[in-house]
């Protein structure tokens, strides 16, 4: 059975996963509103796909602009089927190294930018009683790692918000999926901002960098069929890992957590206390 063409609204569409998934949607005949802070890198899509793509400048930290842009997208195509919240970047450094203003800025983009896009789209999706919201998290939204505390915190926040959202909007026919990529050669590192380094954390920093091997990184182009299969699924999952690396890591993580919780269960249970009936 042929899938009906979908209308996508994509943030951070100019590079990385956003660009790859935007182009994959267009290639198969979907229509896309592709947004980015700088749309110059999207001009070739207009040349190739014409009226099927609408490129709009958007900084997701500008809440008013988000609402105006989503409204314009809806007016252009008469509906929205897939909301892809992809805009984001990494702010890296040890927690002690983090500059508060820079940490705030990372949350403004990764968390509050995502929130604004979701809030702008929801009234439209509720009215049509359909839609699929994709929030882009990371393996760093499941596993915190040294010198990535602020970035991980933003992605943990996206995960919690998205999980709650899924329960809130299911009765309106709206689906939610958290996309959790592992390591891919998307050029993400070029968008990383680093906190001022303290020599005390150089050893930890080197250990983290040394743990990431080039062969661990996946081919970002190979993610496109997975994303298309996801948005076509009648019952998509709440979470979708991308890449072969994350699942073994997560299994080890949760086995460790369960073991620790069980070892300390007696202490945990005593914290329940007793209350008179």
Q: What is the pLDDT along the chain (277 residues), one digit of tens a residue?
A: 457 899 999 999 999 999 999 999 999 999 999 999 999 889 999 999 999 999 999 999 999 999 999 999 999 999 999 999 999 999 999 999 999 999 999 999 999 999 999 999 999 999 999 999 999 999 999 999 999 999 999 999 999 999 999 999 999 999 999 999 998 987 666 779 999 999 999 999 999 988 877 777 899 999 999 999 999 999 999 999 999 999 999 999 999 999 999 999 999 999 999 886 6
The label of the residue with tokens 């309106």 reads 172
Query: Within 13 Å of residue 239, how many CA atoms lie on the same side as its CB?
Result: 18
CATH number for the domain whose boundaries are 7-247: 3.40.50.720
pLDDT at residue 139, rounded to an integer: 94
pLDDT at residue 179, rounded to an integer: 98
Residues 6 or more apart in contact with residue 29 via CB below 8 angstroms: 5, 52
pLDDT at residue 2, rounded to an integer: 58
Tokens standing for residue 69: 């842009």
Q: Which residue numbers are catalytic?
A: 137, 151, 155
pLDDT at residue 36, rounded to an integer: 96
Strand locations in the chain (E): 7-10, 31-36, 53-57, 82-85, 91-92, 131-136, 174-181, 193-194, 239-242
């Amino acid at each position: 059975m042929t899938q009906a063409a979908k209308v996508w609204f994509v943030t951070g569409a100019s590079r990385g996963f956003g660009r790859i998934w935007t182009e994959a949607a267009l290639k198969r005949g979907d229509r896309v509103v592709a947004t980015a802070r700088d749309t110059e890198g999207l001009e070739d899509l207009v040349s190739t796909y014409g009226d099927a793509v609408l490129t709009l400048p958007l900084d997701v930290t500008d809440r008013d602009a988000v609402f105006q842009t989503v409204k314009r997208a809806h007016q252009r195509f008469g509906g929205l089927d897939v909301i892809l919240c992809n805009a984001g970047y990494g702010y890296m450094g040890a927690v002690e190294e983090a500059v508060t203003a820079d940490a705030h800025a990372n949350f403004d983009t990764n968390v509050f930018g995502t929130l604004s896009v979701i809030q702008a789209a929801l009234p439209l999706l509720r009215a049509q009683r359909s839609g699929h919201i994709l929030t882009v998290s990371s393996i760093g939204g499941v596993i915190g790692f040294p010198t990535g505390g602020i970035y991980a915190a933003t992605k943990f926040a996206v995960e919690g918000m998205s999980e709650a959202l899924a329960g809130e909007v299911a009765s309106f026919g709206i689906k939610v999926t958290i996309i959790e990529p592992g390591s891919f050669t998307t050029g993400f590192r070029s968008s990383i901002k680093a906190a001022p380094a303290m020599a005390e954390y150089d050893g930890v920093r080197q250990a983290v960098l040394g743990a990431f091997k080039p062969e661990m990184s996946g081919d970002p182009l190979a993610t496109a069929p997975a994303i298309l299969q996801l948005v076509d699924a009648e019952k998509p999952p709440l979470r979708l890992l991308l890449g072969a690396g994350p699942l073994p890591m997560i299994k080890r993580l949760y086995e460790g957590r369960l073991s620790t919780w069980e070892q300390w269960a007696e202490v945990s249970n005593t914290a329940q206390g007793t209350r008179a009936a």
